[in-house]
Amino acid sequence: MKILVCVKQVPDSCETLHIHEPTGWIANLPSAVFRMNRFDEFAVEESLLIKERLPGTVAHALSVGPKRVNSTIRRALEMGADHGIHILYPDAGYISPYTVATLITTYARTKDYDLILAGIMAEDDMACQTGQLIAALMDLPYTTSVISSEIDDEAGEIVVGREIEGGRRLMVRFELPAVLTIQSGINTPRYPSLSNVMRARSQQHEVIRAEDLGIPQVRETCAGLRLPDSASMGTFIEGSPREKARKMIQVLHEKAFLP
């Protein structure tokens, strides 16, 4: 089996983000720390579990983004992925899931992957579409929100559990090659082993410039960002921690939650 895992780098905390007034786009404070999108950690882990089950399997980790995303690719290698691919795309504000999916598809089309894994959603743009776009562009079957997977190697098929509203599951069987978007909780992402950390430190990533793959024409643009309507904010309880605690107790008494 040859597996491609798409990993996105996201800011560790939303608190280091602010709106850069001149451009109207998100800017990262100098203190910003970046990490792998959490849903993608589950996708990397799933590829490693398949690798352990089916000897001879290789897992490649791919990320689209500016230079800094190489630390996220390295993280995937530290977890146990075999090869890192970096599609270098400048840090230029809004990047459409369609652009990312097209770049990944152009790269992957000739590489004969049996399985392409993505996270169900990126924590920053919350689009829930990149994996499905890749599948549609490559004309591959896909399933989103995968919470269990079992490969039937001989039949060239896969059986997945797809989590839907209320935690119910649809069980689906379909043919490989295919694309899956992984839901959190499908497994427990591992911590890197020391030997993999050492290996990842010296391993070169395959770096490809997005321009060389061909950047598609945009299908949507972002007019800008803003803070959500502040009218919807609740009442902020002010004061020292102790004062806040007392006010909270008062409210709870008034509403008869406390005896």
Ligand X SMILES: Nc1ncnc2c1ncn2[C@@H]1O[C@H](COP(=O)(O)O)[C@@H](O)[C@H]1O
Ligand Y SMILES: Cc1cc2nc3c(=O)[nH]c(=O)nc-3n(C[C@H](O)[C@H](O)[C@H](O)COP(=O)(O)OP(=O)(O)OC[C@H]3O[C@@H](n4cnc5c(N)ncnc54)[C@H](O)[C@@H]3O)c2cc1C
184 Cβ contact list (under 8 Å, min separation 6):
38, 39, 42, 120
144 Cβ contact list (under 8 Å, min separation 6):
120, 128, 131, 132, 162, 180, 181
Separation CA 234–CA 250 (nearest Å): 17
Of 198 and 237, the one with the shorter C-beta distance to other proteins is: 237
Over its C-alpha atoms, the chain yields an Rg (Å, rounded) of 21
Residue nearest to ligand X (CB): 119
Contact between 183 and ligand X by CB under 6 A: the answer reads no
Q: Give the interface size with other proteins as a residue count (CB under 8 A).
A: 76
169 interface partner picked from other proteins, ligand X, ligand Y, none, CB below 5 to 8 A per type: other proteins
Site residues for ligand X, window 188-217 (CB under 6 A)?
none
Q: Residue 113 has which token pair?
A: 């992957």
Contact between 170 and other proteins by CB under 8 A: the answer reads yes
Single residue of 144, 200, 205, 210 touching other proteins by CB under 8 A: 144
132 interface partner picked from ligand X, ligand Y, other proteins, none, CB below 5 to 8 A per type: other proteins
100 interface partner picked from ligand Y, ligand X, other proteins, none, CB below 5 to 8 A per type: ligand X
50 interface partner picked from ligand Y, other proteins, ligand X, none, CB below 5 to 8 A per type: none
Q: What are phi and psi of 185, to 5 degrees?
A: 95, -5
- For residue 245, give Cα distances in angstroms to 92, 249, 251, 253: 44, 6, 10, 12
Contact between 198 and other proteins by CB under 8 A: the answer reads no
The least distance separating ligand Y from the CB of residue 120, rounded to whole angstroms, comes to 5
The distance from CA 70 to its chain's CA centroid, rounded to whole angstroms, is 15
Say which residue the tokens 């001879």 belong to.
56
Of 207 and 245, the one with the shorter C-beta distance to other proteins is: 245
Single residue of 34, 71, 124, 190 touching other proteins by CB under 8 A: 124
Single residue of 17, 26, 58, 128 touching ligand X by CB under 6 A: 128
Separation CA 255–CA 121 (nearest Å): 39
- For the chain, how long is the longest CA-to-CA vector? 69
Contact mark string toward ligand Y, 105..144, x via CB under 6 A: ---------------xx-----------------------
Residue of 43, 5, 55 lying closest to 147 (CA atoms) = 43
Site residues for other proteins, window 48-107 (CB under 8 A)?
94, 97-98
Render 38-84 in DSSP notation, one character per residue: HHHHHHHHHHHHHHHHSTT-EEEEEEEESGGGHHHHHHHHHHT-SEE
30 interface partner picked from other proteins, ligand Y, ligand X, none, CB below 5 to 8 A per type: none
Residues that bind ligand X (CB under 6 A): 6-8, 37, 39-40, 43, 62-65, 97, 100, 118-119, 121-122, 125-131
